[in-house]
Amino acid sequence: MSSSKRHTVIATAGHIDHGKTTLVRALTGMETDQLEEEKRRGITIELGFAFLGDDVTIIDVPGHEKFIKTMVAGVSTVDLALLVIAADDVVMPQTKEHLAILYMLGVEDLFVVITKIEDQNSDWLDLVEEDVLKILPQAYKKSARFFRCDSITGDGIENLKRAIIDFAGQLDIRPDSGVFRYPVDRAFSLKGYGTVVTGTILGGSVRVGDRLQVMPQGFEVRVRGLQSHGSDVKETYVGVRTAMNVIGSDVDSIHRGDWICEKSAFQAAEVIDVSLTTLDNAPTLKNRDRIRFHIGTSEVIGRVVLFGKDLVQPGEDCFAQVILEQSIMATRGDRLVIRRYSPLQTIGGGRVLDPVPDRKRRSAQTAWEDFKALDAVSDDDALELKINISGKFGLGIAAVRAFSNSPVQVISNQISRLQKGGKVVLFGSGDSGLLVSAEVIRQAEVAVTRKIGEYHKKFPQSLGIKQASLISELSSGFPAVVLEYIVDGMVSKSLLLDKGYLRRKEHSIRLDAEKQTLVDRIHKVIKEAGFSPPDSGKLQKLLHISEPDLNRILDILFQQGKIVRMADGTPWDVENVRNAWDLIHPYIASDDGKTVSQVREVLGCQRKHTVSLLEYFDREGLTDRIEDLRFPGVNFRQNF
């Protein structure tokens, strides 16, 4: 669900004591300082909220330097920022830092509100506005609007209020991914209700009764109740400031920085690929610097691994992989801010290029190109690029959802287009599915062909390589499911699968005269033994041959179709096994079940050999064992 009417979220920003909370109260008539400490000290510590009409929420953020992380949480989801500057104190350090954070988080619209204008003449106020213009980023210089207000006398308040309402009315419908995503900026408990969380919905919609997932922890909650603008609602949608009453076994562990999302739509991550821009006055950023990483409403400590350079000077752009000390949740395109670990200072900001990347080596030749491609690619082509970047082990469907932030049906349509275009191959289904690029499929086919060719060259006396061995040997470079797909596609075209061995169609076993003589001799011994064949140990003693050499000869005989090996390893001549079957076939056909002893009497051999034969016939489906009796099996009427 989405609304045809956009809900607007506005946040204050600015230095401590510049009148942000008083301005919000003058605009809305609501008190945002709720904590006793806030009222006693006269400063905002936590986020405060007020409503202007039915469709505008104003978030009051703290201005003190100690509470910058709370300020970042408050402005991460806003449409418009009110940069509040006191006329009697002008531009201060937190003014600049808040302004930088707004810009880095992609807040496009800015109202500069000069407060405490009583007793200030117009010339002074002109100078204040000129000073503010000097610090505005270029993106704000042309679009920012200036207002002069006094929250105590009310001077200019109505003009500002009308401008806010007009701004809200002109906004286009908020873009909606269709996937529910909600960053928690407050979590608390209310008597009689339990856990309540607040935040602004960034995508999709939510209804009372929905079952959702708390990320990055991953546990499930159910929505017990919803409120918007102080009123109970059954459903709410993207862009709306919402309070949710949630229930579940782990709700007490929800806190600011968590996300509440559609189930299975996102993944927890401790590695994030990002593009960054540093501020003009930022400290130099060095590879592996420890930083504070702000995204959504969360703050996590991490390190930046730079790609393409070792140092990032003030005002420069870069690509980086951020290695975090705790899991977070993000999706492609999310805005972020990074600050120094200590002393606290905003370094810059940027956006998420890949929320589910593989760890990259700085020395990898393709890493820089991958970053550039992810930064430049359109949303329509991003999935194909991500699959290609994921390489030989492909991209799981769960990761596709986290990367794309799109509904299941939209992703399914994208995958179908890529499949029809011959760009990818999909293995499996649902969240366990795997997408692999067409290039990887080509590489796997080359690897299979080369491996079989090398095996034929090294072992010309062998029929081929066991399929299981081939897949095992190549599995360090490709997923087993891809190798099985390649083999299935090549069998009957260029390969033959014979008795579990893979070989080229043109390949045949080649033995020198000496080895052929030995093979024939061993086969003669096995054949002449009839229904009492020697086991491997007896053959070694009889023929004075080592176990490895004997096993190689037996493999050749098996591949030539001259012997079969029983479960205990004893080799039987194929003709002798066929003769044994011809003897017992009519005997078992009576359908009254036969014991091992009864079958042994028919064959006239030792019990152990009778048991081996019957177990072989069971495996082949010729007989069926029920307790101690043998009956005709599913393949009983087929030729041996």
Residues 6+ apart with CB under 8 A from 154: 26
Mean pLDDT of 323-347: 93
* Segment 174-216, tens digit of pLDDT: 888 899 999 998 899 988 889 999 988 999 999 999 999 999 9
Name the strands in the sheet holding 424-427, side by side, starting at the edge strand that comes first in the sequence: 395-396, 434-437, 424-427
Cα-based angle 400, 404, 405 (whole degrees, multiple of 5): 115
Q: Is the pLDDT of residue 44 over 50?
A: no
pLDDT of residue 277: 94
Mean pLDDT of 223-245: 91
Domains of the chain: 8-170 (3.40.50.300), 181-261 (2.40.30.10), 377-510 (1.10.10), 513-639 (1.10.10.10)
pLDDT of residue 424: 96
pLDDT of residue 43: 34
Which residue's structure tokens are 């504070």?
A: 292
Name the token pair of 444: 């796997």
- pTM given for the model: 0.78
Mean pLDDT of 140-165: 94
Spatial distance between the Cα atoms of 617 and 620, rounded to a whole number of angstroms: 5
Residues facing 435 on adjacent strands: 395, 426
- The number of CA neighbours under 13 Å toward the Cβ of 358 is 18
Cα-based angle 326, 328, 330 (whole degrees, multiple of 5): 155
pLDDT of residue 195: 93
Handedness of CA 264, 269, 275, 280 (dihedral sign): positive
Q: Is 269 exposed, middle or buried (0-12, 13-18, 19+ CB in 10 A)?
A: buried
Report yes or no: 607 and 572 within 8 Å, Cβ to Cβ.
Answer: no
pLDDT of residue 163: 95
Going by C-alpha positions, the residue among 564, 572, 569 that lies closest to residue 531 is: 572
Name the token pair of 451: 């491996």
pLDDT of residue 71: 59
* Segment 117-137, tens digit of pLDDT: 998 999 999 999 999 999 998
Residues 6+ apart with CB under 8 A from 138: none
Q: Which amino acid is at 386?
A: K
Q: Which amino acid is at 112?
A: V
* Segment 266-301, tens digit of pLDDT: 999 999 999 999 998 899 999 999 999 999 889 999
* Segment 560-607, tens digit of pLDDT: 889 999 998 899 999 999 999 999 999 999 878 999 999 999 999 999
Residue 93 — pLDDT band, cuts 50, 70, 90? confident
Give CA 229 to chain center in angstroms.
Answer: 35
Spatial distance between the Cα atoms of 611 and 415, rounded to a whole number of angstroms: 53
In this structure, are strands 335-340 and 346-354 parallel, antiparallel, or unpaired? Answer: antiparallel
Could you tell me the end-to-end alpha-carbon distance of the chain, in angstroms, rounded to an integer? 64
Based on C-alpha coordinates, what's the Rg of the chain? 37
User: What is residue 50's three-state secondary structure?
Assistant: strand
User: What is residue 551's three-state secondary structure?
Assistant: helix
Report yes or no: 599 and 628 within 8 Å, Cβ to Cβ.
Answer: no
| DSSP H stretches of helix in 318-437 | 365-376, 379-390, 397-404, 408-420
Give CA 302 to chain center in angstroms.
Answer: 19
What's the chain's average pLDDT? Answer: 89
